[in-house]
Structure 1
């Protein structure tokens, strides 16, 4: 479908060294397609995580304003 074609295009571009900014509220999609994740809360960046330290719980804690110290990497 269309989503597959978009993912394929994004992967092809990334393999050629092109940087891609992807905005999504679908965390599984973000975790599956990203090298880094910048999390925002109330219009401001709270943290940029390498994919190795990112998980759904940590991203949600940062996105909702819960203290980062409460959610281990």
Structure 2
């Protein structure tokens, strides 16, 4: 269905599912990225984002407050952008 698209936007893709199902979702996201697809993941779970993303955009009140590579992102650095 959506696998033919070059861009996929997922809003809280693992909310409300068990750990095993989360792992399956992560595998699908990684496979699609490996195929050259752009995968945008919207999530409030920082550990999840750090595990599957290359780059993180921080948004608050409808505005982009910052951008960072996963290697630079910490809870503290993200909170500084939100204050």
Q: TM-score range by the shorter chain?
A: 0.7 to 0.9
What are structure 2's unaligned runs of at least 5 residues? 1-19
Q: Which runs of 4+ in 1 moved over 6 A?
A: none
Mapping of residues 14-33 of structure 1, within 5 Å: 14-33=33-52
Q: Which has the higher contact order (CA 8 A, sep 6+)?
A: 2
Compute the TM-score of the two structures, normalised by the length of structure 2: 0.70
Compute the TM-score of the two structures, normalised by the length of structure 1: 0.78
What are structure 1's unaligned runs of at least 5 residues? 67-73
Matched, 1:39 2:68: no
> Which structure has the highest helix share of the two?
1
> Which structure has the highest strand share of the two?
2
RMSD between aligned residues: 1.1
Shift of 1:32: 1.2
